[in-house]
C-alpha cells in the first residue's frame, strides 16, 4: 500500500462520519436584517471614481500649464552675476 492508497482508505472511512448538526437559521436571518453581507453596489462607486479621475486630470493639466508658463525666480539672478563678475 502506498501513501495515496492509504489516503483513499482514510477518506473512505472519513465519509462515514456523521457531522454534528448546526442551527444557522436565526443567526443568518439576524445578519440579513442587519444588512451584513449585502454586496457593495459598484455603480455609485464607479461614478464617484470617474468624477474623481476627471477632476484629477483637469488639475494635472492646469498644473502642467502653470509650471511651463512660470519663470524660474533664480534664473533672473544669473545674468546679473555674470555681468558683475566681468
Partner 1 sequence: MAAGVLAMYNADTVDETDRQDIAASLGGDEAAFARLIRRHEPAVAALTWRFTRDAAEREELVQDVFVEAYFSLGGFRGDAPLEHWLRRVATRVGYRFWKRRSHRGREAPLGNLDPPAAPVEMDPSAAGAAVQALLSRLPPPERLVLTLMYFDDCSVQEIAWRMGWTRPMVKMRAYRARRRLKAIAQREHLLERLGWTS
* Site for partner 1, rule CB under 8 A: 1-4, 6-7, 9-17, 19-25, 27-29, 31-33, 36-39
Residue 32 or 57 with smaller CB distance to partner 1? 32
Report the distance separating Cα 82 and Cα 72, nearest Å: 17
Q: How many CB atoms lie within 10 A of CB 69?
A: 7
CB of residue 66 to partner 1, shortest distance in Å: 46
| Residue closer to partner 1, measured from CB, 39 or 79 | 39
Amino acid at each position: 500500500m502506498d501513501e495515496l492508497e492509504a489516503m483513499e482508505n482514510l477518506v473512505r472511512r472519513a465519509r462515514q462520519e456523521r457531522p454534528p448538526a448546526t442551527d444557522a437559521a436565526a443567526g443568518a436571518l439576524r445578519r440579513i436584517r442587519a444588512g451584513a453581507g449585502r454586496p457593495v453596489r459598484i455603480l455609485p462607486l464607479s461614478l464617484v471614481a470617474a468624477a474623481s479621475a476627471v477632476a484629477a486630470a483637469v488639475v494635472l493639466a492646469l498644473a502642467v500649464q502653470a509650471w511651463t508658463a512660470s519663470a524660474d525666480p533664480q534664473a533672473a539672478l544669473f545674468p546679473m552675476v555674470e555681468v558683475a563678475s566681468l
